[in-house]
Structure 1
Amino acid sequence: MNKIAVLIISLLLFLSSYYVGSKILTLLEKFLKFKWPVLFWMIFSLLTLSTCLTFLLFDKNVGAFVGKLGSYWFAFLLTALVVFGLTGVFYRIASKLMPLSDQNETLITLGALLFILLFIGYGFWQGQAIKTAHYQVNIDKRAKSDKKNLRAVLISDVHLGYINDEKKFEKIVTKINALHPDIVLISGDLFDGNYEALQEPQKIIKELNRLNANYGTYLCWGNHDAGETFKKMKALVAKTDITLLEDEIAIVEDTFLIAGRKDSRPIGSQDGKRQSIEKQLKAAREDLPVIILDHQPSTINEYGGNVDLIVSGHTHQGQVFPFNLVTNAYFTVDYGYYRKENVAPQVVVSSGVGVWGPPMRVGTQSEIVAIDIKLK
């Protein structure tokens, strides 16, 4: 990001902070007789600075404390900006229809602040909770190994960084192993765009190697697995037992075929552009079940009837209401199981196991996906 963009975004964040801070300071002075506005603005400025450092230094490590503080403050600031803005509009409209006093405006602002605190409190809690979604997929092909059933465990959008750290990833790996997978699929955005945000990369390597599946773990890149520190991300994966597929195909023990894609719209470099795998698929063995790892579900129409299952992520199902309405309108499928007119391919889109941006979820869930595949 160039310096002008950094300055503009920083200015917008501080202006937003001033708007939100003014509302809160008014309440503090009115109800608690608060008399230290300079101290208040110093604290608000430091909190906003932590957000600027966290989100604008894409290739630096600002430390776990500052990174977490900046992320949570961003969630509060964004929510407060929207809610205070909407209540302000409501007050101006209502004041034209009926007489309203300054006391009415203060009470409306107080109610808005209480709503903000409840909203983000629930969102923070929900963002850390991890549920398991289950799907049954039938594929009309026979594996050479005569295996009739296959359990694939899918995760996407881990977004390893300040919020989704080593401790959270350890919990994720433990939950995956408890599902006794035949294969683990990671459909992109393993990283949050900044490798340096990892505080203990060796622990991430250890946890990735702890994934326990009969046929191993397969990974494709997402749009955040890119940028200035991409080579370090790739080097970390190379130190693990994970099979990275960059527009490549792998035949897994005569049982099924897996293809993994580079992201269609990465945020920065991914060592070359996405390449077509159409020829590879045509040359591949048509008798085996074909699974595609492709981060963004906007690409599902690229694949034909020779593909049996596509697994994706990316959308987070909007992550925070009402953005789930936006993703639902934009994507053919933004979450769950999808199959067009009962013909291949089938699609499963995960809402993601991590969070991005504001570390909260409202109306969506962080999830691990268990896909039970029944073969012919």
Structure 2
Amino acid sequence: MRLFIPVFFIIYSLVHYYAYRKLCQAFEPVRVQRLFVLTLFALTTLSPAIWRFLDRNGETELSRPLAFFSLFWMGFIIYFFLIGILIDLYRKFHSPGPREAFFLTLFLTLLVSAYSHAETYFLQVERYVIETPKLPKGVEIKIMNASDLHLGPVMREDKIEMVRKVYERERPDILVATGDTVDGNMRDSEELAEMLSSINPPLGKFAVVGNHEYYAGLEQSLSFLERAGFKVLRGEIIEVKGLLNLAGVDDPDGEKLGYRVFTDEVEVLKGADTSRYTILLKHRPEVKREAIPHLDLVIAGHTHGGVLFFVGYTVLRLIYETDRGIKELAPGKFIVVSKGVGTGGPPMRLLSPPDVVIVTLRGLSQ
């Protein structure tokens, strides 16, 4: 985290500088105008740190509108940079002037930004059926994963309402949240906790800690999850109605921030009764090979499908087991990864829409 913050602001500053240079090439502003634009860009570059500081210190009336503007701007300026690079390559073979190129970049950026925000509301339901001899024949257990809600200054009631509608339609037996449910100061967000607490599946609600729970402050994140009705699994395994083993571990980022974390899935699972179907909840879709003999299913989130589809299909699939969907880890053992409901940065997605995952376990044994 200590390395990420300065690297982020260096890259973010360079993205702004690129936009500033494009603006100057197109309009050739005088010195006072250049200084004004540079000052605005400096403020927008620093705005993520400003609203995070305000939010952490309880100034929610200021942090919410500032976060909304800051995150939308972040998405816009990143798209402007990416599209601008493509237009620059196009100009090597054709010759539109700098002003025409600027307006083309601006138009495409506005178009893509508008679509990307709209896509955050295109919630998908991804369904998977797994048959297992570890459950009696005729028994079905439906598990719903509402991962990465990122509740905070920007992601609020609308995201919970999306989840609630799916829950009422699907009626799962278990609801899980595989991290990053919290992404802001939730001390005064009783209405959000009450909305989540009204969802009561018959076999329970379970959550694990993601990296953003640490960023937002672990104590208040855990308090919110408990008020919302979740049993938070931190390096522990429990039995669910004699049918399942359900284990959960923390995200490892907490250790970098000085928290005591419970991340050793092998240690958690090795004492499990493997005659029962065993599920591991964790935030990141990575699995220690030594843990696979002790589990049957891993449910995870974190990736958001890369947010930009090409990031998910390339970079993230090199880092994690997969960026979305289901993958077989070993014969009869699977990992299922959600792209999440919310977004941890700009409220934008490109061809990587949000989802909730429904896994139905179907018994085969006589």
Check whether TM > 0.5: yes
Whether 2:56 is the aligned partner of 1:59: answer: yes
Distance (whole Å) between structure 2 residues aligned to residue 268 and residue 303 of structure 1: 23
CA-CA distance at 1:157 after TM superposition: 1.2
SS in 1 for 2:128: strand
Is the Cα contact below 8 Å between 1:176 and 1:368 reproduced in 2? no
Report what 2:179 is aligned to: 188
Give runs of aligned pairs for residues 1-376 of structure 1, distance below 5 A: 13=12, 16-24=15-23, 27=26, 47-54=44-51, 59-60=56-57, 61=59, 62-91=62-91, 93-94=92-93, 100=95, 104-142=97-135, 148-192=139-183, 195-196=184-185, 198=186, 200-227=188-215, 229-266=217-254, 268-269=256-257, 271-299=259-287, 301-324=289-312, 325-340=314-329, 343-376=331-364
Cα deviation, 1:5-24, whole Å, max 9, x if unaligned, reads 97886576455435314534
SS in 2 for 1:207: helix
Distance (whole Å) between structure 1 residues aligned to residue 269 and residue 4 of structure 2: 42
Is the Cα contact below 8 Å between 1:226 and 1:268 reproduced in 2? no
Distance (whole Å) between structure 1 residues aligned to residue 160 and residue 281 of structure 2: 21
Cα deviation, 1:45-96, whole Å, max 9, x if unaligned, reads 65445344235767344421111111000111111123223433553x448x
Distance 1:51 1:167, change over 3 A: same
- What are structure 2's unaligned runs of at least 5 residues? none
SS in 2 for 1:140: strand
Distance (whole Å) between structure 1 residues aligned to residue 254 and residue 13 of structure 2: 29
- Structure number with greater Rg is 1
Is the Cα contact below 8 Å between 1:315 and 1:327 reproduced in 2? yes
Cα deviation, 1:289-343, whole Å, max 9, x if unaligned, reads 11110111122534223311110111111111321221123323221111145x1
TM-score normalised by the chain length of structure 1: 0.83
Distance (whole Å) between structure 1 residues aligned to residue 263 and residue 83 of structure 2: 44
CA-CA distance at 1:42 after TM superposition: 6.5
SS in 1 for 2:143: strand
CA-CA distance at 1:264 after TM superposition: 2.9
Matched residues, percent identical? 22
Distance 1:270 1:301, change over 3 A: farther
Distance 1:269 1:231, change over 3 A: farther
Distance (whole Å) between structure 2 residues aligned to residue 269 and residue 18 of structure 1: 31
What is the RMSD computed on CA atoms of the aligned residues? 3.1
Provide the aligned length of Structure 1 versus Structure 2: 358
Distance 1:113 1:266, change over 3 A: same
SS in 1 for 2:239: strand
CA-CA distance at 1:344 after TM superposition: 3.6
SS in 1 for 2:213: coil
What is the one-letter code of the residue matched to 2:294?
Answer: N
- 19-28 vs 71-80, greater mean Cα deviation: 19-28
SS in 2 for 1:332: coil
SS in 2 for 1:353: coil
Is the Cα contact below 8 Å between 1:156 and 1:313 reproduced in 2? yes
Cα deviation, 1:11-44, whole Å, max 9, x if unaligned, reads 76455435314534665789xxxx9777766665
- 12-21 vs 158-167, greater mean Cα deviation: 12-21
Distance 1:210 1:40, change over 3 A: same
What is the one-letter code of the residue matched to 1:77?
Answer: I
